[in-house]
Amino acid sequence: MLALSRKVDYALIVTSELARQNGNYMSSSDIAKKHGISAKFMDRVLSLLKNGKVVISHEGKLGGYKLSKAANKISVLEIVKAVEGPLISPNCAKTGKCFGKGCNHKIVWTKARESLEKTFESYSLSDLI
């Protein structure tokens, strides 16, 4: 069974919360408390989102995190890729080499990845709030 990770779930929760802040910064600890997520895990998710350029941060008393652009300009795909990297990436898709003779699994995995990416790209963060 293919499943999205807890990181993706939390990333969608975090970005949805930040979208509701109307461009204001919100601290990691406030988000964690509000949603019952461990502060340590929240920091990890926010760090991935920051590295993926989905959120920006500002230090200081009025600092915290906010979205890097409007919620309607951030696709669900951007969020997922920021915290998980490429979708559906079996070894044969990465290397181009299948492990079994006559294996055509790469075709299925490639089609599945393209379908997921198209679906995730078609939804923006604003569709989730």
**Looking at the domain assignment, is residue 67 inside a domain?**
yes
**Looking at the domain assignment, is residue 1 inside a domain?**
no
- For the stretch 75-114, pLDDT in tens is 999 999 999 987 776 666 666 666 666 677 777 878 888 9
**Looking at the domain assignment, is residue 33 inside a domain?**
yes
**Looking at the domain assignment, is residue 113 inside a domain?**
yes
Tally of structural domains, the chain? 1
Higher pLDDT among residues 72 and 104, named by residue: 72
User: pLDDT at residue 6 above 70?
Assistant: yes
Give the residue numbers spanning the domain of 64.
6-128
**Looking at the domain assignment, is residue 27 inside a domain?**
yes
Higher pLDDT among residues 92 and 30, named by residue: 30
What's the 3-state SS for the chain?
CCCCCHHHHHHHHHHHHHHCCCCCCECHHHHHHHHCCCHHHHHHHHHHHHHCCCEEEECCCCCEEEECCCHHHCEHHHHHHHHHCCCCCCHHHHHCCCCCCCCCHHHHHHHHHHHHHHHHHCCEHHHHC
Q: How confident is the model at residue 2 (pLDDT cuts 50, 70, 90)?
A: low
* CATH number of the structural domain spanning residue 100: 1.10.10.10
